[in-house]
Every structure is written in C-alpha cells, then in structure tokens.
Chain A
C-alpha cells in the first residue's frame, strides 16, 4: 500500500527522516520502503486488515513511537427530510452482508474536486474523478472503508436489495467490462437490475454522473471470504475488494459514512437527509482477553514486569486493566487469544531486544536417517565415477511419455498445471535426463555424463500415490579429460559405473539378464537383478530426442538397492599364502555369456578357486585367468595342475566350448 508521508503526518506526529521511519516500521512488522515523492510503500501482513488505511498505519506508528493518533471531531447536520423516506434497503443475505449502511445527500452539483483533494488522491496514486467519487476514495484511503455512491434517480423505486447473484446473470462494471456471475456472488441490486458487485465494483448503469442530483452513499461490511472468492473468480481486484477481503472495521463503516456525507455536502453543495440506514445482524462488542505475565515471559524468554507488558499493550490503543485487555474492534480480526497478545507485546517491545539463547535441553535427535545417508553415499560414488549431478522437475509432459513409449496410465496428473510440459508426475527418471542431454547437445555441449537421484511417483491404490527414490545415469560422448584420449559411452562404459556402484556398496550377488525392454537397443541391454535396467538407448528413442551418438544409461530403484546393502559389513582377513594362476583359452559358441562361463568355472573349481576373470577377448576367442588359493597353506603345482585339468575337461562337455591348448 502506498502512503504519502504528508498525509500520514496529519494523523500522527513523525520525528526523524523518512528512512528512519521506514526502518522503524519494518522492525515493527510493517515492511516499508521509501519511494520517490515522499511516499511510503508498505507491505501489509495478511492478518493486519486494520492496516489497510492511513489511519491504521498512523496507529502503528503511534504505538511504535509512544505517541497518539490525532482524530478529528465531526458532527453530521441533517435537514428535516428523512433518509427512510428517500431510500429502502433490503438485505436478503445477512450472512454475506452483516452490515449495510446508507445515507442520502440531495441537491448536489457534480463537478471536479478542489485542487487539494485532487492532489491528495494523486499523491496516493488514485485518479481524481468528481467531487463525490473522490470523497469516497479519500476515506477509502484514510479510513480503509470502501464506499459506493449511486445516482438515486437511476435506482428503480429507490430500493436497494442485497442478494446473491442468479446463475448466468451479467453485469457491466464501471470499467466497461462485462462479467458473468455465479450464485455465490453477492450483488447490490434494485428491483429490476444489478447495480454493483458488492465490495468489488459498481455498475455503469447507476454511477454518479454530471446530471446526478441525489446521491445514495453506501457503506457496508461484506463477508471477507465471499468478496475474496468473487474477486478471484471474475478476475477483478479493486482498491475496494482488497480491503473487504481482509475485513474492514465494523465501527469504521459508520464513521466513514458520516464523514463522507459531511465532505460531499461541503464540496458538492448538497444537503444530508436526516438519519441513516443501518441494517445489521449481530452486535460486535470489544472482547476482553486475559494474559498471564509469567506465560508471556515463558514464551518469549524475556524478563518483563506485568507493568511493562501493560504499558506496551496500551500503546496499541488497547484498554488494559490489570491482566485484562479489552481489544478494540479494529483489531478484533487478529487478536482473540493470549498468544496474540504475547506477539503484540514482543512486537512493540522489539524483537531485537529479546536476548538470543540456545535451547536449554539435551538434544533428542534419533541420529541420522539411513536412507538419506545411503542416498548421499550413492551420490558420492556417482560423482567419483565422473558424473555430474542434475536436478530436474518432478513433473513432465505427456510428450515425454510418448517419446520414451512409457505408459502414462499410472501417472499422477496435476489438475491445474502451469503448462502441459509440467502436467504429469514422472514415473521414471530417464525422460528428464534425456531432456537435459537434449538441452546440452543443442548448446554444443556434447560430452554429457549425468545422474539424478530423485523421486518417481505413481498411483498405487493407497490414500496417496506411491513415491520412490531412484537413480538414473546417462552417458554420451567422451568421458575423458583430454580429447587426445578417445572413448565412447557404450554399454560397457556405463556397466563399469554400475559395477563400481555395486562393488563400493558391497553388493556382491547381482545378476544381469539380457532385457527385451523397449528402452534399450535389442541385444545391448540388461535388467539388473529386478531392480533396474541398463543398456544403450534404443536408436528410435534417441532419434526422438535428436541424439545422434550412442547413449548408454542405467536406472535403478534405490530403495530396493538399499535393502541389498549388508547391514553389518565385516572385514575379511588378507590372504597369508600366495596364489597360483592358470589361463584357459577357448572358442565359445554364439549366445554363451561370460557370466555363465565364470560361474561354471567357479563351480567346477570349488573352494580352490578364488577368482576367475576374462583377460583377453578376440571375436569368439576368450581367455580366462583362474586364481587358485588355499587360505591355510601354499598350494603345490601338482594340486593346481590337477584341478586345472579337471576344470578344462568338464568345461568342454558342459558348455560346448572348444579349448585352445
């Protein structure tokens, strides 16, 4: 809200520079910056409906500077003709309109406002219109009470009816826009037409104009939630609706009406009819709240006396007797409990005066979160494998499901997405990473080695969709520091990363089984122990992301992987006796997998074989090295040779390989 300092000064004494004032207000809960033109720009907290006026700001400044607000004396002088004989008001919806007041001013002459008023409005950023509308705006700004002036002649039967809109009804507001209404919106009407959207904006059909002679001035309290919804639904926010949706002052409804009537009569030369319409339901009386000084100190960590607390509350305009505080109506909206008073005490005392302390208890932390630690460990391993961590949005568009051929039927759908690209919660991480690859390649960054540890989401039949942590890695280009070193991110490259991950985590038993997933190029991908998928991306998917080079990836369910990690890692003693090694070279038939050959050799070798690995490969010719060891003693050549011979003999018959001797 914009407040001209000069205007504010009429309501409260201000000492010091505007910057000093802004700082003090900010530290008191009204975030304020000084703008050119001696203007304060103030951010009003959502609970402080009482601050949506210059008067409200003045009250705050007065409380913070230990002074009081200057309030004018006024008296309405009416003529003998009665308002009741000039206008009838019927409030049909008392819930949405608990108070409706009106006055009538006759024989006005509509013309431009005097310069002082024009300047005043302009200083606050409001355009001057005429000597009636300007008066309502003046008090809207000063007292925070929006009012509306109707041309009485244009109101059928001089009867105002406050009711909800009928579905499909339409109204053209003062700004010339037509709005279609729904039945939850509160309307000001006459017997045959709509004349205003209550609290938001009046209609053009009854606005005050050059011919207007009699003005009906409306001042009301409309239900904040209703005004908020209406203004949101018709996408029309006005100075008026902003104030109604925060809740205006119950008592201010009347003061603003009276003062505006006086000023209109003064500026437009009219006469005020006797009396005022006041349709209200439920009397609002100031509430009294008790506070316990020891409780105040307990919550704040302060050591204030009861007398100090009382004087702090009095500065806010509260009447305090002992520990009982009577809350004025203008603060009824936000102060109803002891804790509210405690906040007020702290605020006026000054947050900066409260001593910082550390909690005086032993910390109850249950320690680390194991899954969180696990994720960090995985992250560290991936970084060590030369992968950059990425973070992508949790939602994707249907296009990503289409491009990767993923079934979107279990995907959680956002009802009001910002855009279609962010409308579905992802069910796998891969498309998000492919987007990153695409983004980088489009910017000539061609070596992209990345991973993401993130959640995936899917309907699972529970109260809430299932969320699971996953890891996905993609690699494309060369991983080397130097461009002299040639390398490509093929299946074996990414598999090396997977192996490092599983080895460092201490997961030994994991089987890769050739996979027929549509995501991988047939024959160049495998499923990882039922926990994930590894391989080279299918060329037809690659094409959809305009990726030309080979791209390899793996994705794994981190929660499943977490379960495989040995809870109690144990050290294995280092060998005391030397090992012996023998090589086996063979030609293998197509389709016989390395994994099978190794496990067969291990099985055949039994306890004596410590390790088997492939050390040479040319086409179908493979060479394995077998490491023999006995933990208790040094093996003799004879023993090793005998075992080796047994293995070779059995291999030929079991696996149909041809040994090369």
Chain B
C-alpha cells in the first residue's frame, strides 16, 4: 500500500509538472486528488486497515495530500502568471504612435501679451476701460491738446471716416472719455485696437495699444517712474535696467520715453537695439494741465500720469519676431508656436 501511495505521488507530480495550462492542471487535480480519485479511495479505505497499520498509512496519506496540494497551488499560480504575461505580451503597442483626440488651440500671441500686461496692472490695482475704435476727432485730438490743423496731427497718419470721425490713432481717447464721466481717484488701463496709415515690417495699419493712467491728489513723476519700472520688470525680468528720458507728447508734460535694456544683447549693443543697448517700449508723462482742465478737473488739486505702449512691439521683442505682418496673417504654423 505504501508503495502504491508513493507511485501515485510520483505520477501526480509528473502530471502537475507537465500541465501546460489551467485545464490540464485541473484534469490532473481531478485524476489524482479529486473526490473519485484512487487516492481518495485509499483514504476512505483506511478503516479497513489494522490498528497498527492505520496511523502509519494515515500519516503517509496526509503528508502526500499536503504535498500534492502545494504542488497544485504552486503550479496554478505559475500558470496564471504565465497566462497574464502572455496576454500582456499580446497587448504590446508601439508607444511612439500619435495620441488621440483633438489638438488644443492656442491664444493668439498678441492676446497672450496683452493679457499679461493687463494682468500686471490689475494686480497693481488698476481697472479696465474701453472706448470705441471709430472715434470723434475731439477725443482723439482736441481733448488731448492737439488742436485742429496743428502739424503735430500729421505724426499720427490718421485714417478718416469724415471730417469729424476717424479711426482712433491711439488709445488715449479713453482717458478723456473716462475722466469726463468720473472723478479722481482713477487708475485705469485701456487696451484696444488703434489704426494708422502706416505699413512696413514694424508698422501695421491695425495694431494694439495698452493705455494707462493714474489720477489723484499728489501723483508725482516719481510715481510714474516707480509704476512703470515695476511693470517693465514684471514683463521683461527683474534684473533688467529701465531708463526714462525726456520726450514730447502734446497731452503730457513732463513727458518721458521709457527704454528697457535690450533683451537680445542685455545692453551691450546689437542690431536689434541699433547699437544703443536700449529698446524703446513706452511713451509716458504727467497728464498735461490743459487736458485735466478740459475734462473739468482742477490741475492745482489733482495730478496724474499716463502711459501707452504697443502690444505687438512687446510681443515682437519677447518672441524675437521680425515682421509685424505675421500677427495678422494668422498662418496656422505661426499661431501654433505660441
């Protein structure tokens, strides 16, 4: 009997080892340790053995059963793992194939720069105001101390609708519109499209400006310098030097042109900055008393500064774009670079 048990064990182990899939393993289990197996029959027949034989054979059967059970379990785990890795193998993909879904769109580069500039001023406490593109000549010129037939109007290369109506040449008319309606203190930025009869690599007949002004009691030229320096450092980098130099605008006095250190050569002098090391970025100045008076403010009681900048110019410097026309051609291959 003992021999028979050992024989069964040997056969069962062989069958388990040779099983190649869960089905064969299950067949081996049924055959060797299943309810109807010879082994189970032997177990049932224990009672027929003599009291001396019984414990010896009983122990042997139990040992063998545990052995076979362990072998079955091990093989089962092995086969399952093998099965999974086979499936995984079959599921392998080319991870370099393209992704699915639609391409996400991009913000136009001019919008990106415009929003960044707006956001900087909003963080400083400014609010947004807007005005019409098609403007009365009063707001574009007279209200800004640019009298009719004055040669300084020539500088603006205006597109006219009729004698009194034109396409605004700058966003400064928004200053007048806001000041006419409201009282100081005012801290406003006015973004928008402006128009000039001018077209080459750096001039577009349509372009975008950001105008800003701050009017209150005791606003100083120092405040203008501080505010614009902060803005330019947030835009072009904290370490970049900024300089203010005298200029002329009919609606501000004193007026200042604001330069930042060249973004290309960091001030050493290059083609972009024409060797000067500086880039002209902003026009600014203290709001002229005549302008304040024209909107009904008392220039003795309030003062303010104003500034304006071209968004495309900043975008061109930021992304090193050499032709302003690219912004308005909207070639997808251009737009998708931003």
What is the interface of chain A, defined by CB distance below 8 A to chain B?
A: 26-29, 31, 33, 45-48, 224-225, 228-229, 232, 245-246, 298-302, 337, 339-340, 342-343, 346-347, 351-352, 354-361, 363-369, 372, 376, 379, 382-395, 412-418, 422, 425, 436, 439-440, 443, 445, 447-451, 455, 457, 463-465, 467, 479-485
Contact = CB atoms under 8 A, between A and B. Distances in A.
B105 interface: yes
A343 B149 CA distance: 25
Nearest to A417: B159
B247 interface: yes
B270 interface: no
Nearest to A34: B275
B216 A359 contact: yes
B214 to A, nearest CB: 6
Contact of B151 (A245, A302, A366): A245
B160 A386 contact: no
B218 A448 contact: no
A450 B330 contact: yes
A242 B216 CA distance: 40
B105 A386 contact: yes
Contacts of B246: 27-29, 45, 343, 346-347, 351
B interface majority secondary structure: mixed
A365 B151 contact: no
Interface stretch (B37-45, B47-55, B131-139): B131-139
Given A386-B105, A481-B99, A394 B160 contact: no
Interface residues of B, number: 91
B13 interface: no
B12 interface: no
9 contacts: A29-B246, A225-B151, A352-B243, A365-B187, A379-B107, A388-B106, A418-B205, A440-B331, A455-B193
B98 A414 contact: no
Interface string B317-338: 0000000000111111101100
A461 to B, nearest CB: 14
A245 B154 CA distance: 12
B268 interface: no
Contacts of B125: 363-365
Nearest to A44: B248
A479 B244 CA distance: 48
Contacts of B100: 480-482, 485
Interface in B85-122: 97-108, 110-111, 115, 122
Given A368-B128, A457-B133, 19 more contacts: A28-B245, A29-B247, A225-B151, A228-B154, A300-B254, A340-B253, A351-B245, A356-B225, A357-B225, A361-B216, A364-B184, A365-B126, A365-B127, A388-B330, A394-B206, A439-B329, A457-B134, A481-B98, A485-B100
B253 A448 contact: no
A46 B151 contact: yes
Contact of A386 (B98, B104, B124): B104
A414 to B, nearest CB: 5
B73 interface: no
Given A245-B151, A301-B222, A363-B124, A455 B101 contact: no
A351 B305 CA distance: 15
Interface stretch (B2-10, B61-69, B226-234): B226-234
A8 B195 CA distance: 40
Interface in B280-338: 286, 288-289, 303, 327-333, 335-336
Contacts of A369: 127-130
A27 B256 CA distance: 10
A57 to B, nearest CB: 15
Nearest to A382: B105
Contacts of A451: 105
A343 B206 contact: no
B264 interface: no
B199 interface: yes
B151 A228 contact: yes
Contacts of A245: 151
Contacts of B132: 464, 467
A46 B206 CA distance: 24
B306 to A, nearest CB: 13
B248 A46 contact: yes
A394 B195 CA distance: 9
B91 to A, nearest CB: 18
A343 B247 CA distance: 10
A387 B105 contact: yes
Given A358-B227, A364-B187, A390 B216 contact: no
A228 B153 CA distance: 11
Contacts of A339: 253-254, 286, 288-289
B105 A383 contact: yes
A299 B221 contact: yes
Nearest to A22: B276
A278 B65 CA distance: 137
A26 B245 contact: yes
Contacts of A418: 159, 197, 199, 205
Contacts of A417: 159
B152 interface: yes
Given A365-B125, A417-B159, A357 B105 contact: no
B220 interface: yes
B186 interface: yes
Contacts of A45: 246-248
Nearest to B303: A299
Contacts of B111: 379, 389, 391
A415 B160 contact: yes
Nearest to A369: B128
Contacts of A379: 107, 111
